[in-house]
């Protein structure tokens, strides 16, 4: 596929708002709901009135229910499975095991990347709660009762928890069924130029190093995963309603796994209650439900419980990183190194960082003009759930941004430089774009200093620096910390080099049809899970065709009717499908022009399009004008002989490059020295996602993502004990932030359009989750850096913060510690 297609680019045509900030948004002004207008979300009416339609709302006649029997052990060989007691229950219809699936060629399925996973365990369990058998019954309760009666005999093996342990010589081999796999090592990976980087480090005035873990997280969407599979033996067709971020890709996978031809598989993704990356892969439950429906010739529903979702579906992160920076004494960064130990769980769903999607880790040089960079990584299998790639992350960009933004703070402290100033000294200058990084990534556009300046001003930075000093001098109980993150994101997968999956270049699609009465249907290959596509995609069309946003309906999520698309992840919907929508609209506009000429009885060359009024008019005679709506009927009933009837166009958009949104976040915290508790004083987020479609929706995206960033930095962690039991596997133990933990956010923006995107837009959906954790950690560390604290691991619980401070103050001045160290040698005096 070539990128030289008719992807016309006019990105800055309606660049309309460059000064940003908390003041009210300036609109395009035409009021039809086009670019930049705060159109109320079209989808909200059905959500707010309880009329959403989620997978678990779907009920079909004769529908059966599927419950999965899961292993209590993390590593165990299955000796025997006996389903007879379950089958003896009245309402149980079937018990399925790996043997049954094998008969239909469905025993294994591809993971997101590079590996195959058992659908139901064949031989050996590799993580706790792995799928062992399935019970199909006439209702959910019966299925659950049945699952409890399935008897499984296990030979329990030693589990391997933690990547470091997994790579020890005597560690039990988890994937012994694979040829050539006699240990738990998956792959090594390298990027950048080791020699050049070493040279820069050797010559540097100063080098710093810090080890930091990005803990295992879970996307935890409010709606868990599930499906209703319905095999129709009359049409030989499999319809699966499922929680999917990528219905077409899932159709192709389903077809490949099942052998049912692709045109006989229909995937429908109805309303999806949050995805956050969790609904990118397929999971065994989907395959089991489809297999059961095929065998039993009845619809089968499978819907996860919360703990099943957290314990078995794709986790994220679990990167143990060591970062190093080399710099001159005035803080000019010359080189960056990172070494990673990655826990990929029992199956490799995370892929090699040289490939999509994990390849996005290559952005670890961040927003800085750094001469030399080198990265290395080792990945290991462990007896934990597979995953690692996706959680509002742009595929390892989160880890990369955390690394570089934390390291800049470490360097600033080492050199005793202001963390804002050191960033300023190293930013890629705004006139250096397009910019190629030391790891070979091509940044499209950026103006980092502008975003930082704006954030500093909004945060009242100087005031808080003074306040911080005052508290230190007064030896106050509550310390002030100021954290900055000036991150660069990369979204919009994407062009070949970085996004090549088995030779497929990534594109997305839009199919626009204007009806004879002048309203329109836009069908897209991406899938919303709460991002508001039904509104923002309609706004793109409203802008391009001068139509009213209310006259455009956006459809997605049904592979029978939508054009083939690769789905929503890596904040690619706007950069890729949004571009496809704009280009399709421009094709329609081109065709409409000749119809306009016909209707206005003028030559086509004399017809002009006026974006402001949304009309075609005759050059020099603006009163002779016509709208798309008015000419739609003519396109069908009165079309010029030179044109086919109809008014529609399709575009498959193959982006020439990715887009690089960015931002500067400033977090001001108060750290209680007595308790280690952290309070947010101020949270400033300045984002730049190029031209903005709907500022209100963007703000919603930012708020949600910042909340998740706070969860990441302060609360969330999927933990395991030595036996491989998930100890953070439900909402009692996996702490998500609630409204109580979330402060007010001050959001602002700058606008630096993408030069290659048809409407100059970049993605924004993941920026806040990617950008905020390092700002928060930097703030907490900053509160304590005068005591010598250089790092606190996430999640920064009060315990962890208190300990870091206690330890630092002990080393600093032993006598000053009476307040913090518990003295257990004496009973408290009772006076
Ligand atoms: N937008 C805009 N102007 C821009 C950029 C974006 O108005 N310049 C709008 C878009 O049109 C879209 C929304 O903001 O309505 C997000 O757009 P985009 O950044 O393109 O991201 P996607 O639509 O591709 O959404 C994916 C992204 C990802 S990868 C995760 S993970 C995530 C996220 O979005 N999951 C979410 N935000 C989420 N928000 C909700 N409510 N639920 C999820 O599951
Ligand atoms: Cu990285 S989570 Mo989103 O890409 O679906």
Structural domain boundaries in the chain: 27-52+507-653, 62-157+223-273+279-312, 316-494+658-807
- Most ligand 2 atoms within 8 A of CB, residue of 391, 494, 508, 529 to mutate: 391
Q: Contact 167/338 with Cβ under 8 angstroms? A: no
- Residue whose tokens read 């790639």: 389
Q: What is the pLDDT, as a whole number, of residue 501?
A: 57
Name the residue at shortest CA distance from atom 33 of ligand 1. 765
- 390 touches ligand 2 (CB under 6 Å): yes
What is the per-residue pLDDT for 651? 98
- Please give the DSSP secondary-structure letter assigned to residue 363: G
Give pLDDT, residue 818. Answer: 46
**What's residue 813's pLDDT?**
55
CATH, range 27-52+507-653 = 3.30.365.10
CA–centroid distance, 571 to ligand 1, in Å, is 6
Higher pLDDT pick, 11 / 579:
579
- Per-residue pLDDT, averaged over 611-622, amounts to 94
Determine if ligand 2 sits within 6 Å of the CB of residue 394. Answer: yes
User: How far is 489 from 659, CA to CA, in rounded Å?
Assistant: 8
For residue 633, how many other CB atoms are within 10 A of its CB?
A: 16
Protein residues with CB under 6 Å of any ligand 1 atom? 221, 274-277, 392, 529-533, 536, 568-574, 689-694, 697-698, 701, 704, 761-766
Question: Atom 21, ligand 1: which residue's CA is nearest?
Answer: 571
Rounded to the nearest angstrom, the distance between the alpha carbon of 219 and the centre of ligand 2 is 9
- Asked if residues 568 and 246 have their Cβ atoms less than 8 Å apart, the reply is yes
Looking at residue 3, the DSSP 8-state letter turns out to be: T
**Nearest protein Cα to ligand 1, atom 9:** 698
CA–centroid distance, residue 783 to ligand 2 (Å):
32
pLDDT surpassing 90 at residue 357: no
Would the CB of 569 count as within 6 Å of ligand 2?
yes
Quick one: which atom of ligand 2 is closest to the CA of 394? 1
Model confidence at 831: pLDDT above 90:
no
Ligand 2 within 6 A of CB of 392: yes
pLDDT of 378 = 97
Query: CA-CA distances (angstroms) from residue 606 to 10, 136, 597, 633, 645?
Result: 21, 68, 8, 22, 22
CATH level 3 topology of 62-157+223-273+279-312 = Aldehyde Oxidoreductase; domain 3 (3.90.1170)
Average pLDDT over residues 423-444: 97
- Contact in structure between 668 and 680 (CB atoms under 8 Å): yes
Q: What is the pLDDT of residue 495?
A: 78
> pLDDT by residue (tens digit) across 690-743?
999 999 999 999 999 999 999 999 999 999 999 999 998 899 999 999 999 999
Name the closest-CA residue to atom 36, ligand 1: 276
pLDDT band at 453 (very low <50, low <70, confident <90, very high): very high
User: Are the beta carbons of 190 and 197 closer than 8 angstroms?
Assistant: no
Which residue's alpha carbon is at the smallest distance from atom 37 of ligand 1? Answer: 765
- Residues 475-505: tens digit of each pLDDT: 999 999 999 999 999 999 877 666 665 566 7
Say how far apart CA 276 and CA 540 lie, in whole Å. Answer: 24
With beta carbons less than 8 A apart as the criterion, state whether 379 and 418 touch: no
- pLDDT-derived band at 11 (thresholds 50, 70, 90) equals very low
* 634: CB partners within 8 A, 6+ apart: 595, 598, 599
- Per CATH, 27-52+507-653 and 62-157+223-273+279-312 having the same topology is answered no
Percentage above 70 pLDDT, the chain: 93
Residue 269 pLDDT > 50: yes
Residue 194 pLDDT grade (very low, low, confident, very high; cuts 50, 70, 90): very high
Query: What does the pLDDT read at residue 642?
Result: 79
Question: By alpha-carbon position, which residue is closest to atom 4 of ligand 1?
Answer: 692
* pLDDT above 70: residue 21: no
Structure tokens at 722: 């030595």
CB 395 within 8 A of CB 356: yes
Neighbouring C-beta atoms of residue 690, cutoff 10 Å: 28
Closest-CA residue to 225 (of 286, 276, 288): 286
Model pLDDT, residue 503: 61
Whether the CB-CB separation of 242 and 226 falls below 8 Å is answered with yes
pLDDT at residue 20 is higher than 90: no
Beta partners for residue 376, in sequence order: 190, 339
pLDDT at 502: 55
Tokens of 272: 């999806």
Question: Which residues, 6 or more positions from 223, have their beta carbon under 8 angstroms from its beta carbon?
Answer: 54, 55, 56, 243, 272, 273, 274
Give the pLDDT band (50/70/90) at residue 822.
very low
**Residue to mutate (ligand 2; options 314, 361, 394, 768; most atoms within 8 A of CB):** 394
pLDDT of residue 641: 77
Calculated CA dihedral for residues 589, 594, 596, 597, nearest 10 degrees: 150
391 Cα–ligand 2 center, Å: 5
Q: Ligand 2 pocket, 391 CB below 6 A?
A: yes
Lowest-confidence region among 67-76, 149-158, 237-246, 593-602:
593-602
Cα–Cα distance for residue pair 453/203, rounded to 1 Å: 32
User: CB under 8 Å to 397, separation ≥6 — which residues?
Assistant: 360, 361, 363, 489, 490, 766, 770
pLDDT surpassing 90 at residue 58: yes
Task: Answer yes or no: is the C-beta of 289 below 6 A from any ligand 2 atom.
Answer: no
Kindly give the number of the ligand 2 atom that is closest to the alpha carbon of 571: 4
* 8 Å CB contact between 495 and 655: yes
Tokens of 12: 């800055």
pLDDT at 465 over 90: yes
Contact in structure between 518 and 595 (CB atoms under 8 Å): no
pLDDT of residue 496: 65
754-807 pLDDT, tens per residue? 999 999 999 999 999 999 999 999 999 999 999 999 999 999 999 999 999 999
Query: From the CA of 527, which ligand is nearest?
Result: 1
- The verdict on the CB of residue 55 being under 6 Å from ligand 2 is no
Nearest atom in ligand 2 to 392's CA = 2
Angle of CA points 632, 557, 276, to nearest 5°: 125
Residue 500's pLDDT is what?
61
Q: Which residues contact 364 (CB under 8 A, 6 or more apart)?
A: 336, 338, 373, 375, 400, 401, 403, 404, 439
Q: What is the pLDDT of residues 617-631, one digit of tens each?
A: 999 999 999 999 999
Asked if residues 531 and 701 have their Cβ atoms less than 8 Å apart, the reply is yes
CA of 174 to the centre of ligand 1 (A): 37
Looking at ligand 2, which atom is closest to the CA of residue 395? 1
> What's the gap in Å between 434 CA and the centre of ligand 1?
24
Distance 490 CA to ligand 2 centre (A): 12
Ligand 2 mutation pick, 395, 533, 577, max ligand atoms within 8 A of CB? 395
Distance, in Å, from the CA atom of 80 to the CA atom of 668, rounded to the nearest integer, reads 57
Phi and psi of 803, rounded to 5°? Answer: -65, -45
User: 304 is written with which tokens?
Assistant: 């996860």
Q: Residue 383 has which token pair?
A: 């007896």
Tokens (6 digits) for 815 = 């006598």
Tokens of 631: 């000419």
Per DSSP, 359 falls in state G
d(CA 628, CA 615): 7
Instruction: Write the residue with the smallest CA distance to atom 26 of ligand 1.
Output: 571
Contact 625, 615 (CB under 8 A): yes
Q: Which two tokens stand for residue 714?
A: 């302060």
pLDDT tens column, 660-685 = 999 999 999 999 999 999 999 999 99
Closest C-alpha among 356, 364, 299 to residue 325 = 364
Q: What is the CA(493)–ligand 2 centre distance, in A?
A: 11
Give residue 347 CA to ligand 2 midpoint distance, Å.
19
Q: What is the DSSP string of 625-637?
A: EEEHHHHHHHHHH
Residue 570 CB–ligand 2 contact under 6 Å = yes
Torsion of CA 473, 478, 479, 481, to 10 degrees: -150
Active site residues: 245, 392-393, 766
CA-CA distance, 373 to 7, in Å (whole number)?
A: 34
The residues near 575 (Cβ < 8 Å, ≥ 6 apart) are 491, 492, 655, 658, 659, 754, 757, 761, 762, 763
Question: What's the gap in Å between 390 CA and the centre of ligand 2?
Answer: 5
Predicted structure pTM score:
0.94
Cα 567 to ligand 2 centroid, rounded to whole Å: 10
Give the residue, out of 225, 389, 531, 556, with the most ligand 1 atoms within 8 A of its beta carbon, to mutate for a pocket test.
Answer: 531
CATH architecture for segment(s) 316-494+658-807: 2-Layer Sandwich (3.30)
Ligand 2 and 298: CB distance under 6 A: no
**Residue 769 CB less than 6 A away from ligand 2:** no
Please state, in angstroms and rounded to a whole number, the distance separating the CA atoms of residues 341 and 319: 6
Closest ligand 2 atom number to CA of residue 279: 5
Task: Using most ligand atoms within 8 A of CB, pick from 37, 52, 765 the residue to mutate for ligand 1.
Answer: 765
| Least confident window among 139-148, 357-366, 373-382, 792-801 | 357-366
Whose CA is closest to 745, among 693, 796, 785, 706? Answer: 706
Is the pLDDT at 112 greater than 80, yes or no? no
Give the ligand 2 atom nearest the CA of 393: 1
The predicted pLDDT at position 809 comes to 83
Residue 29 has pLDDT above 80, yes or no: no
């Amino acid at each position: 596929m070539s990128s030289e297609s008719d992807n016309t680019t006019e990105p800055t045509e309606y660049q309309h708002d460059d000064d940003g900030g908390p003041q009210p948004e300036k609109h395009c002004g035409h009021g039809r709901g086009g670019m930049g207008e705060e159109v109320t979300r079209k989808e909200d009416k059905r959500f707010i009135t309880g009329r959403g339609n989620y997978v678990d709302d779907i009920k079909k006649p004769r529908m059966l229910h599927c419950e999965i029997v899961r292993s209590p052990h993390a590593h165990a060989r299955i000796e025997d499975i006996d389903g007879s007691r379950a089958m003896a229950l009245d309402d149980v219809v079937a018990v399925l095991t790996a043997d049954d699936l094998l008969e239909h060629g469905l025993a294994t399925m591809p993971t997101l990347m590079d590996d195959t996973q058992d659908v139901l365990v064949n031989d050996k369990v590799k993580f706790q709660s792995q799928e062992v058998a399935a019970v199909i019954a006439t209702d959910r309760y019966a299925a659950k009762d049945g699952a409890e009666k399935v008897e499984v005999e296990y030979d329990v093996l030693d589990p391997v928890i933690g990547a470091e342990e997994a790579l020890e010589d005597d560690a039990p081999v988890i994937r012994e069924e694979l040829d050539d796999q006699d240990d738990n090592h998956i792959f090594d990976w390298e990027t950048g130029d080791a020699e050049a980087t070493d040279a820069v480090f050797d010559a540097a005035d100063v080098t710093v190093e810090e080890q930091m873990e990005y803990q295992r997280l879970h996307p935890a969407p409010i709606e868990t995963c599930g499906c209703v599979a319905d095999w129709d033996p009359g049409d030989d067709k499999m319809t699966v309603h499922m929680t999917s971020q990528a219905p077409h890709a899932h159709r192709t996978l389903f077809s490949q796994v099942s052998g049912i031809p692709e045109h006989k598989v229909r995937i429908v993704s109805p309303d999806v209650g949050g995805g956050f990356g969790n609904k990118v892969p397929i999971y065994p439950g989907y395959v089991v439900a489809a297999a059961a429906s095929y065998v039993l010739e009845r619809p089968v529903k499978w819907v996860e419980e919360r703990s099943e979702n957290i314990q078995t579906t794709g986790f994220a992160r679990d990167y143990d990183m060591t970062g190093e920076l080399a710099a001159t004494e005035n803080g000019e960064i010359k080189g960056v190194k990172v070494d990673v130990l990655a826990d990929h769980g029992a199956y490799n769903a995370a892929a090699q960082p040289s490939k999509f999607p994990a390849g996005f880790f290559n952005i670890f040089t961040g927003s800085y003009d750094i001469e030399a960079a080198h990265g290395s990584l080792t990945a290991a299998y462990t007896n934990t759930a597979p995953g690692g790639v996706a959680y509002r992350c742009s595929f390892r960009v989160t880890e990369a941004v955390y690394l570089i933004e934390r390291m800049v703070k470490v360097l600033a402290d080492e050199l005793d430089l202001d963390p804002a100033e050191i960033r300023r000294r190293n930013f890629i200058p705004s006139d250096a774009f397009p910019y190629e990084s030391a790891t070979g990534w091509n940044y499209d556009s950026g103006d980092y200093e502008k975003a930082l300046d704006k954030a500093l001003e909004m945060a009242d930075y100087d005031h808080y620096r003074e306040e911080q000093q005052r508290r230190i001098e007064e030896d106050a109980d509550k310390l002030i910390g100021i954290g900055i993150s000036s991150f660069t994101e990369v979204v919009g997968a994407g062009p070949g080099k970085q996004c090549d999956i088995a030779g497929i270049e990534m594109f997305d699609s839009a199919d626009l049809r204007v009806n004879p009465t002048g309203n329109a249907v836009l069908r897209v290959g991406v899938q919303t899970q709460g991002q508001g596509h039904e509104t923002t995609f309609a706004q793109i069309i409203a802008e391009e065709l001068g139509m009213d946003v209310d006259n455009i309906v956006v459809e997605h999520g049904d592979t029978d009717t939508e054009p083939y698309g690769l789905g929503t992840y890596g904040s690619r919907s706007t950069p890729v499908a949004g571009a496809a929508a704009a280009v399709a609209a421009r094709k329609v506009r081109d065709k409409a022009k000749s119809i306009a000429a016909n209707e206005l009885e003028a030559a086509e060359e004399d017809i002009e399009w006026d974006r402001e009024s949304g009309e075609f008019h005759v050059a020099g005679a603006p009163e002779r004008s016509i709208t798309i709506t008015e000419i739609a009927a003519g396109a069908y009933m009165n079309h010029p002989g030179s044109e086919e009837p109809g008014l529609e166009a399709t575009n498959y958009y193959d982006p020439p490059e990715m887009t690089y949104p960015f931002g500067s976040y400033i977090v001001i915290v108060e750290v209680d020295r007595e308790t280690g508790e952290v309070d947010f004083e101020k949270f400033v987020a300045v984002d730049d996602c190029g031209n903005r479609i709907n500022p209100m929706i963007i703000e919603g995206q930012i708020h949600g993502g910042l909340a998740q960033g706070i969860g990441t930095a302060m609360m969330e962690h999927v933990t395991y004990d030595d036996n491989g039991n998930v100890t953070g596997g439900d909402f009692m133990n996996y702490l998500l932030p609630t409204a109580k933990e979330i402060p007010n956010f001050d959001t602002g923006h700058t606008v630096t359009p993408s030069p290659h995107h048809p409407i100059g837009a970049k993605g924004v959906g993941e920026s806040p989750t990617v950008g905020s954790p390092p700002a928060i950690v930097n703030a907490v560390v900053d509160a304590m850096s005068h005591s010598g604290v250089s790092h606190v691991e996430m999640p920064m619980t009060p315990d962890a913060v208190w300990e870091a401070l206690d330890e630092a103050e002990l080393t600093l001045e032993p006598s000053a510690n009476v307040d913090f160290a518990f003295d257990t040698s004496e009973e408290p005096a009772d006076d």
